[in-house]
Amino acid sequence: MRKNFTNMFFVLPLLAINITFFAIPFVKSLYMSLYNWPLLGEKAFIGIKNFIQAFQDKKFLHSLLFTMEYALLVTPMLFLVAFAMAILVNQKFKGVGIFRTIYFMPVVISMTASADIWLWIYNELYGVLNHLLLSIGIVDTPIAWMHLPKTSLPAVCAMVTWKMSGFSMLMLLGAFQSVDDEIYQSASIDGANKIQQFFRITLPLIRPTIALSMVISIIGSVLAFEQFKIMTAGGPSSKTQTAVYYIYETSFRHFKFGYGAAMSMILLVILAVLSYFQFAVMKDATD
């Protein structure tokens, strides 16, 4: 009993945080989703009508599809860059710690600051990117990166890759360094070269970390908001409006709190499904 009490004592702070910031808001949102809940006036119980409306709302469905498109585009970009950086900084040479620090530095910058920095880079009139492209003759006129449907999404993905690849790099670097050197030495004695060691030893052993890194990236992409709010404002013509962005607009600009809560519940179910696949992938990777 004393041991159980001690364990419960250490668990209580985290339990209190989860109840305060997840359980109570979740129950409140679920309750609100069943009501027509305006900013002012009387709220009215309407059952599942908000959920039915959400599945009939073309803007909401488009925001979900765009969110998935963004996740499928940015995830491989981010992973490939992070994987390449992890391989580079896993080498033993003088000053490698400096490169690790430089690659990780964008992670500690807030998403808001990162988006503002890249808005300056992409600026049509005085942006560094347009100036560079004009100087070397690749383009004849400046490109309005944030105002064209074909360029706005890749531009945001490039910014997110720059900012977040250092986090995935750190995870992969830890996985690389967790492989025992004796395994490589035994493989070398058996005649395996560096390439064979990489594909037959390193990759199989770091599969759980690779799976975790990619799933975290996908879930983070589903919850994308700040980068599109700041860089594109959902434009042009709401083509870059993510699901979270649309829920924010519905709830806090149009003050349809009940409808916004219903869409939040739908997004939560999507995240729960992704989490389920996360555990499935992790389990398969470690078997």
pLDDT, one tens digit per residue, over 117-163 is 999 999 998 899 999 999 999 989 999 999 888 899 999 999 999 99
Q: How buried is 8 (Cβ within 10 angstroms: 0-12 exposed, 13-18 middle, 19+ buried)?
A: exposed
Structural domain of 221 = 51-286
Please, are residues 37 and 258 in contact by the beta-carbon 8 Å criterion?
yes
7 domain residue, yes or no: no
28 domain residue, yes or no: no
What integer best gives the mean pLDDT of the chain? 90
What is the DSSP secondary-structure string of 124-159? TTT-HHHHHHHHTTS-SS---GGG-HHHHHHHHHHH
22 domain residue, yes or no: no
For 226, the enclosing helix (H) or strand (E) is: helix 226-231
Longest dimension (CA), the chain: 78
Helix axes 49-56, 257-286, angle to 10 degrees: 70
Phi, psi of 17 (to 5 degrees): -65, -45
Per-residue pLDDT at 6:
81
Which residue, 287, 240, 185, is CA-closest to 59? 240
Q: How far is Cα 31 from Cα 14, in angstroms, rounded to an integer?
A: 24
Helix axes 149-178, 96-108, angle to 10 degrees: 130
CATH number at residue 87: 1.10.3720.10
Give pTM, 2 decimals: 0.88
43 domain residue, yes or no: no
13 domain residue, yes or no: no
197 domain residue, yes or no: yes
Helix axes 149-178, 207-222, angle to 10 degrees: 150
Q: How buried is 78 (Cβ within 10 angstroms: 0-12 exposed, 13-18 middle, 19+ buried)?
A: buried
24 domain residue, yes or no: no
Q: How far is Cα 280 from Cα 53, in angstroms, rounded to an integer?
A: 32
Per-residue pLDDT at 282:
65
185 domain residue, yes or no: yes
Tell me which residues of the chain have a pLDDT lower than 70.
1, 281-287
Identify the bridge partners of residue 35 per DSSP, sorted by sequence position: 45
Q: How far is Cα 219 from Cα 188, in angstroms, rounded to an integer?
A: 39
Count structural domains, the chain. 1
